[in-house]
Amino acid sequence: MVPISSIQFTCLCGSISEPGSLLSDQNTPVYAEMCSMCSVLTTHFIAVTKTLNSLQPYKNSDVATRYFCPACGCFCVFYTAPLDTWYFISRAIEHNPAIKLDVPGEPNNIFMVMRYAHILDTKDGGLAPFLLQLGDRAAPTWAGIPEPISAPQNSYDLPHTNILSMISASPENYTQQPDKDSYPTASCHCGGVALLIQCANHTAKDSSCHNYSDPAKYPTYLCACRFCRLSTGISLFPWTPVNAGNVFNMKKTSVSPDNTTPDSLIPATFSFAASSSNSNPELSLKYYWSSPNTCRSFCANCGATTSYWCAQRPDELDIAVGILRSEDGSLARKLLGWEWGRLLT
């Protein structure tokens, strides 16, 4: 087995870096939170003062605080007051390239997913229905707050059949085409980032943001690349590519209550022009250039990942699915088309 001392806890920009020897156990349990705020994997670590001092806190409730890297936006640490417990994000852990291994390969089987929690927060089950079976075992699932970690790990309160029924509920609602002139909202937890995104309209074949099974919806994909993993702290990050010209600054736009008749639309900026000091006024967007031609954005207040832009696709903008405010659930299936097999690594 590859020793855990050869791994590190890090964010994409490298501002956060701790050795894997801080792991409290050789086989560390992982708890998957499906709530609307987290949607990430967490794992027990020993809290490190130096690391916490380098992170920006965001108190998302009376009892919970998130910590993220203020430079690249990676969600790194979670603290819950009732249990006085610190959690470090497991997907920010990887092999330290500075350490030469005596055995081939990279660390594996270090983490074991123990359960999924807060599934009802997703309304539609999120990705949980696709991850219920983990190899030869079934993952225990919880509607909301699970039992303490000390409880039997096979306990649950939400049967898998209930979760599977969530994703198939009211399928007729997902086949109805949204109004092409409507502007659904996308916003972070604190509200500092508030965008309007015009619904897809691909009757004219001039856009690569095309969902072939339903042209009236934007496509989606899950990304498992190192850059997305370390800039978000999430293993499989869901993106939806939209036309860059269809994204607007909600705080500078007046709209009707149903978001269908904007009086004036102020485009949001996410390309090279985002570096300007007067870009996106009133939005709490912060930018991290992970390469000379790649710009990632997140909320400077709560750390929510917002977008991905690259010069190879200058007219497209990948929006984080998690910030879309859709009444039908976290997958936003009225607005987005989900097709099995769309995964980038």
Q: Which of 125, 345, 338, 335 is nearest to 220 (CA)?
A: 338
- pLDDT one-digit tens code per residue, 121-130: 888 888 888 8
- In terms of Cβ atoms closer than 10 Å to its own Cβ (0-12, 13-18, 19+), residue 245 is middle
Structure tokens at 298: 């997140």
Please, are residues 298 and 282 in contact by the beta-carbon 8 Å criterion? Answer: no
Please list, in sequence order, all residues whose beta carbon lies within 8 angstroms of the beta carbon of residue 249, skipping any fewer than 6 positions away.
194, 195, 196, 266, 267, 268, 280, 281, 282, 283
Amino acid at residue number 237:
F
Helix (H, G, I), strand (E, B) or coil at 50: helix
Of these ranges, 79-93, 122-136, 139-153, 296-310, the one predicted with the greatest mean pLDDT is 296-310
Pairing of strands 285-291, 343-344: unpaired
Please list, in sequence order, all residues whose beta carbon lies within 8 angstroms of the beta carbon of residue 169, skipping any fewer than 6 positions away.
124
Q: Which of 340, 337, 321 is nearest to 174 (CA)?
A: 337
- pLDDT one-digit tens code per residue, 228-264: 999 998 888 999 999 999 999 999 876 665 555 556 7
DSSP 324: B
Please, are residues 306 and 298 in contact by the beta-carbon 8 Å criterion? Answer: yes
Structure tokens at 62: 């009376």
User: 39 pLDDT exceeds 60?
Assistant: no
Amino acid at residue number 85:
T
Q: Which of 183, 172, 306 is nearest to 240 (CA)?
A: 306
User: 22 pLDDT exceeds 70?
Assistant: no
Of these ranges, 134-143, 156-165, 278-287, the one predicted with the greatest mean pLDDT is 278-287
How much is the pLDDT for 189? 94
Beta strand spans in 56-169 (E): 56-59, 64-68, 75-80, 85-89, 93-95, 111-117, 133-134, 137-138
- pLDDT one-digit tens code per residue, 276-306: 888 899 999 999 999 999 999 999 999 999 9
Question: Binning pLDDT at 50, 70 and 90, where does residue 75 land?
Answer: very high
How much is the pLDDT for 210? 65
How much is the pLDDT for 41? 41
- pLDDT one-digit tens code per residue, 169-210: 655 555 566 666 788 899 999 999 999 999 887 665 556 676
Domains (ranges, CATH) in the chain? Answer: 4-167 (no CATH), 173-344 (2.170.150.70)
Helix (H, G, I), strand (E, B) or coil at 192: coil
- Please tell me the pTM assigned to this model: 0.86
CA distance 62 to 317: 34
Over range 143-167, report the average pLDDT: 80
Residue 188, number of CB atoms within 10 A of its CB: 25
Radius of gyration of the chain (CA): 20
Helix (H, G, I), strand (E, B) or coil at 136: coil
Per residue, the 3-state secondary structure of 116-144, as one string, reads EECHHHHCCCCCHHHCCEECCEECCECCC
Across 70-93, b (16+ Cβ under 10 Å) vs e yields bbbbbbbbbbeeeeeebbbbbbbb
Please list, in sequence order, all residues whose beta carbon lies within 8 angstroms of the beta carbon of residue 1, skipping any fewer than 6 positions away.
109
CA distance 228 to 236: 8
**What is the separation of C-alpha 195 from the centre of its chain, rounded to a whole number of angstroms?**
17
State the maximum Cα–Cα separation within the chain, in Å, rounded to a whole number. 64
Whole-angstrom CA distances from 87 to 72, 83, 92, 258 are 19, 11, 12, 39
How much is the pLDDT for 68? 95
How much is the pLDDT for 74? 95
CA distance 47 to 32: 19
Percent of the chain's residues with pLDDT above 70: 73
CA distance 280 to 121: 30
Question: Binning pLDDT at 50, 70 and 90, where does residue 69 land?
Answer: very high
How much is the pLDDT for 182? 80
